[in-house]
Structure 1
Amino acid sequence: MSDFNQYTAAPEAPTAVPGAEERQWAMFAHLSALVGLIIPFGNLLGPLVVWLVKRDTMPFVADQGKEALNFQITVTVVCVVLGIAAFILSFVLIGFLLFPVIALVGLAALVLAIIAGIKANEGTAYRYPFSVRLIK
């Protein structure tokens, strides 16, 4: 397995059917990223807290919490890198074209987090596209 596949391959989803409380906490793991709309880096803190609190007692929440956290880390890194590039390139008037791209990344992250929350509440293990899985 190549290094790229090692970090981007989706882990195996839990096979047991999660209960109602477990599905609800998994949904919270995904939707807690919306805290980032109010608190800086809350998109990382929300899934991290849910994952750390429930990972030992609920396997489905552990899986979905890791998935949400990995995706939010990926989105944060992409937005920070694009923001730095946009700032530097704005001195030559090209960087202003990157600001709409940053907004689209944020909008896509919002939509995907909501979809993931809905799927987790249905009991389906959701896998985000384009997510670097740093936490195993």
Structure 2
Amino acid sequence: MEIVNHAIAKREDKQLLVITHLSQYLDYVTGFGGLIAPLIIWLTTKDKVHEMDVHGKAVINFQLSLIAYLIIGIPSILLLGLGFLIIGFAIVLGLIMPAVNAIKASNGEAPSYFGTFRFIS
């Protein structure tokens, strides 16, 4: 009996990795697309594109962390205005980190999102 290796060679697609990181900016356009678009890209290409699983998990963890910061920050507004700092922190992270990690992806580096909780490992 012949054993055939069915391992699929993954292609390297840095442009798709960059698009995955930059698609998070859809939050500022549609209000919700920043989680859905990267999730769809990650789920459909994680087995086909080299390093997509690592970058996709980082993006999804970052988006879920931003949602957690907002869920914590909104009620914290009543607590001496502390929520404004938390929400401001989330907004600044949401604006800066996708661009930084898109540049890292285009250079072939691993993603690193500051202030991210690991929901998916």
TM-score, scaled relative to structure 2: 0.81
CA contact (8 A) 1:31 1:114 kept: yes
The residue correspondences of 1:28-39 to structure 2 (distance < 5 A) are 28-39=19-30
What residue is the counterpart of 2:93 in the other structure? 108
The structure that has the greater radius of gyration is 2
Compare the two structures and name the one with the higher helix fraction.
1
Q: How many residues align?
A: 111
Q: Which has the higher contact order (CA 8 A, sep 6+)?
A: 1
Q: Which residue type is aligned with residue 16 of structure 2?
A: W
Match in the other structure for 2:70: 79
Gaps of 5+ in 1: 1-17
Could you tell me which residue of structure 1 aligns to residue 60 of structure 2?
69
**Which consecutive unaligned segments of at least 5 residues does structure 2 have?**
1-10
Give CA deviations for 1:65-112 in whole Å, capped at 9, x if unaligned: 1111111111111112101221xx17xxx23x5325412321122101
Match of 1:11 in 2: none
1:125 counterpart SS class: coil
Detail structure 1 runs of 4+ shifted over 6 Å in the superposition: none
Whole-angstrom CA distance in 1 between matches of 2:89 and 2:114: 15
Match of 1:38, SS? helix
Say if 2:35 is the partner of 1:60: no
TM-score by length of 1: 0.73
Please give the alpha-carbon distance, in whole angstroms, between the structure 1 residues aligned to 2:86 and 2:54.
30
Q: Is the CA contact (8 Å cut-off) linking 1:23 and 1:60 kept in structure 2? A: no
